Amino acid sequence: VDLSTVRTVDAGAVRIVVDAMGGDHAPLEVVAATLSWARAHPTETILLVGIPERIEAVAGGPMPANVEIVPASQVVEMDESPALALKAKKDSSIMVAMDMIKQGRGDVLVTAGHSGAGMAAAVLKLGRLPGVDRPALAIQMITETGPFVLVDIGANMDSTGNNLYQFAHMGSLYAERVLGVPHPRIALLSIGEEKGKGDQAIQQATQMLDDDGRLNFIGNVEGRDLVKHVADVAVCDAVVGNVTMKFFEGLATFIFSLWRHEFERGIRGKLAFLLMRPAIGRIRTLFDYEKMGASPLLGVKGMVLITHGSAKRRMIEYALDAGAAAARARIPDFIADAFAGQARRPRAEAQ
Amino acid sequence: VDLSTVRTVDAGAVRIVVDAMGGDHAPLEVVAATLSWARAHPTETILLVGIPERIEAVAGGPMPANVEIVPASQVVEMDESPALALKAKKDSSIMVAMDMIKQGRGDVLVTAGHSGAGMAAAVLKLGRLPGVDRPALAIQMITETGPFVLVDIGANMDSTGNNLYQFAHMGSLYAERVLGVPHPRIALLSIGEEKGKGDQAIQQATQMLDDDGRLNFIGNVEGRDLVKHVADVAVCDAVVGNVTMKFFEGLATFIFSLWRHEFERGIRGKLAFLLMRPAIGRIRTLFDYEKMGASPLLGVKGMVLITHGSAKRRMIEYALDAGAAAARARIPDFIADAFAGQARRPRAEAQ
């Protein structure tokens, strides 16, 4: 257990609440990942929320001592409308899991379920931290020299300058506390590199970040420079962030499929493949987006991470790593501090 | 000369106005590209606008018969503020070139100069087509099965739903008339694939496109599916489009540099490189963004194309190809028709 952070949840254990029923491959892959992770981390606790019989059916044996099943009778499916589903399914795994966080019975929630439902349940059950106008969903993006944080990738529509300004603060704390970047470089993702160039929200956020002075605000970053790691946190409106994140996935997959096709082509390709196998491994490792684990939802009263709906056990295990790290880093506490002028907000689960 | 289009500028010749002074490598690369292109297309005319002595100095010999120098005494530099520069430099090459279009002395303008200045000069000198609220800048993006049009990539900030709706119409005409796509599939680039999912502007545009019914509107496309060529025209706000376009450039360059590095590594890499040389050539050809030529500015009273500020002669030659094709396709006429209920607007240069 890393005790080097300023404040830890608890030196002994992090209690991770896992939505066992959420995701394209739930509960099978979620349960498998959880059991494997729990065995590898015997001092941590996992609370597996879902339909007990279905969890037990896929567990294939006795639970490790540090895994507890918390019953929930309903499931929000991936194709449901979040608003309707949450209203109708009060005993769904995501709602019960969120309640565990609210009641201080868990330190962090990890879900591979419907991201819209996860965000809505978090806002509904936990609420926003005082001073935070809107929560934001962040993600780690790949560069050759390490990850940067992209925020917002989909928690809000039509963000204002003030929203972007708040996202910058929350993203900075996440980069500092979880990625371990001292004094993270914060940039607004925009249309030109000249500071202030962009739409009204970007211009307003620029003004606010300049006036504030608490962050290491470096101005704008353009799309072409994102992969050069010129910023540790790139702040943008949700449509920009979501399109960028998914375009990364689509374009990288496309380019690698072209190479794969060429390496499968004829004797030349197959021979080159054998020669390049170590190189291909290096490039694959760099672009292993499963290691990015999960997207933290910043700005709510509790730590919630949402991982890919299509995540399988390997990615979910990384999401559990990310969850434990985020819980230890106590991001909500630090956000509360930053947004409430250093006045500590009481947190039941931390006392 | 392609006579298959419904209406052509002129069966014999297109008159291309070229801003000889615009771009990082002007006038050298612009003039070199122009002379080479003019020699290869002896029936077309090029009007080279700029400082005659500087043009002649880099021309290195007599001009081809189909190239005429049009004097302009000033230059808008790449780092100038467009608004101030255009006000102060009435005799700049971009302003004089735009005047040629306005006066019907040229059919299309091609510039590698400051894109903001080019767009501002077009709006200032030519004005918007009747019914068009805001012009839009488009670009061709790469997929394995051919290009799609991304619009807007930077002509406007804070576009409304009505703006996006108009961009969809203009992009559709461009895809149909210049790329030769019958009944182009139009999509809104957004945060989720469900139709209507997105911010207020996207929702409003969805409603308008659904109500209109003239276009082949297919709903939303996500960032991850852009490269799959699921749409022929992807419509978005300028920040989204600009970040997407530049992220493409940055990410593709980054991935290819990783491969290059691996192919240069040791004897294995070098041997693999020799084996993969044809494959590398194929992939390079597919990702040859210089062939994309230039970005059309849609919605102004004249055909204006803006190419990359860093364009060298090869890309500028492609931009001249694109310019000739756009002029022949008479995009402004078709946009005028679409926006003015089929009422033909008189066009001096076409009579």
C-alpha–C-alpha distance, residues A162 and A180, integer Å: 26
Beta carbons within 8 Å of A277's beta carbon, 6+ residues apart = none
Residues of A with Cβ-Cβ distance to B78 under 8 angstroms = none
Residues of B with Cβ-Cβ distance to A282 under 8 angstroms = 262
Q: Name the pTM for this structure.
A: 0.92
* pLDDT one-digit tens code per residue, A287-321: 888 888 899 999 999 999 999 999 999 999 999 99
Q: CB atoms < 10 A from the CB of A76, how many?
A: 28
Residues of B with Cβ-Cβ distance to A114 under 8 angstroms = none
**B154: nearest CB among A191, A240, A246:** A191
Beta carbons within 8 Å of A61's beta carbon, 6+ residues apart = none
* Pick among A137, A144, A159, A191 to test the B interface (most B CBs inside 10 A): A191
C-alpha–C-alpha distance, residues B92 and B85, integer Å: 9
C-alpha–C-alpha distance, residues B141 and B226, integer Å: 9
The pLDDT score that the predictor gives to residue B147 is 94
Closest-CA residue of chain B to A197 = B157
C-alpha–C-alpha distance, residues A257 and A244, integer Å: 20
Nearest CA-CA distance, residue B127 and chain A, Å: 22
List phi, psi (to 5°) of A320. Answer: -70, -40
* pLDDT one-digit tens code per residue, A247-266: 999 999 999 999 999 999 99
B99, pLDDT greater than 50: yes
C-alpha–C-alpha distance, residues A13 and A145, integer Å: 31
Beta carbons within 8 Å of A114's beta carbon, 6+ residues apart = A22, A76, A77, A78, A80, A82, A85, A94, A309
Nearest CA-CA distance, residue B242 and chain A, Å: 6
What 3-state DSSP class applies to A109? Answer: strand
A/B interface, count of CB pairs below 8 Å: 185
Residues of B with Cβ-Cβ distance to A246 under 8 angstroms = 222-225
Residues of A with Cβ-Cβ distance to B240 under 8 angstroms = 239-240, 243
Would you give per-residue pLDDT tens digits along chain A (351 residues)? 333 333 444 455 899 999 999 999 999 999 999 999 999 999 999 999 999 999 999 998 899 999 999 999 999 998 888 889 999 999 999 999 999 999 999 999 999 999 999 999 999 999 999 999 999 999 999 898 999 999 999 999 999 999 999 999 999 999 999 999 999 999 999 999 999 899 999 999 999 999 999 999 999 999 999 999 999 999 999 999 999 999 999 999 999 999 999 999 999 999 999 999 999 999 999 988 888 889 999 999 999 999 999 999 999 999 999 999 999 999 999 999 999 863 343 444 333
CB–CB contact B250 A228 (8 Å):
yes
In single-letter form, the type of residue at position B196 comes to G
The pLDDT score that the predictor gives to residue A341 is 60
CB–CB contact B249 A223 (8 Å):
yes
CB–CB contact A243 B157 (8 Å):
no
Residues of A with Cβ-Cβ distance to B254 under 8 angstroms = 143-144, 227-228
C-alpha–C-alpha distance, residues A38 and B31, integer Å: 68
The pLDDT score that the predictor gives to residue A83 is 86
C-alpha–C-alpha distance, residues B272 and B76, integer Å: 47
Q: Which of B135, B133, B128, B96 is nearest to B113 (CA)?
A: B96
Closest-CA residue of chain A to B158 = A199
The pLDDT score that the predictor gives to residue B136 is 98
Please report, in angstroms and rounded to a whole number, the separation of the first and last CA atoms in chain B: 19
The pLDDT score that the predictor gives to residue A350 is 37
B64, pLDDT greater than 80: yes
Q: Kindly report the length of chain B.
A: 351
CB–CB contact B243 A240 (8 Å):
yes
* pLDDT one-digit tens code per residue, B10-42: 455 899 999 999 999 999 999 999 999 999 999
The pLDDT score that the predictor gives to residue A292 is 83
CB–CB contact B248 A154 (8 Å):
no
The pLDDT score that the predictor gives to residue A13 is 85
**A251: nearest CB among B251, B268, B276:** B251
Structure tokens belonging to residue A309 = 């709906």
B350 pLDDT tier (thresholds 50, 70, 90) = very low
What 3-state DSSP class applies to B268? Answer: helix
CB–CB contact B223 A249 (8 Å):
yes
Residues of B with Cβ-Cβ distance to A255 under 8 angstroms = 252, 255-256
Closest-CA residue of chain A to B243 = A223
* Pick among A148, A247, A258 to test the B interface (most B CBs inside 10 A): A247
Closest-CA residue of chain A to B258 = A283
Maximum separation of any 2 CA atoms in chain B, in Å: 67
Q: CB atoms < 10 A from the CB of B328, how many?
A: 24
Cis status of the peptide bond prior to B79, with omega within 30 of 0: no
Sign of the CA dihedral B193, B194, B198, B200? positive
B341 pLDDT tier (thresholds 50, 70, 90) = low
Residue A299, judged by CB atoms within 10 A of its CB (0-12, 13-18, 19+), counts as: buried
The pLDDT score that the predictor gives to residue A294 is 94
Q: Are A21 and A316 in contact (CB under 8 A)?
A: no
Nearest CA-CA distance, residue A72 and chain B, Å: 29
* Pick among A206, A240, A244 to test the B interface (most B CBs inside 10 A): A240
Q: Where are the alpha helices (DSSP H) in chain A?
A: 28-40, 52-59, 82-88, 93-102, 115-125, 161-177, 200-212, 238-263, 266-286, 313-329, 331-339
Nearest CA-CA distance, residue A306 and chain B, Å: 16
**A227: nearest CB among B227, B251, B282:** B251
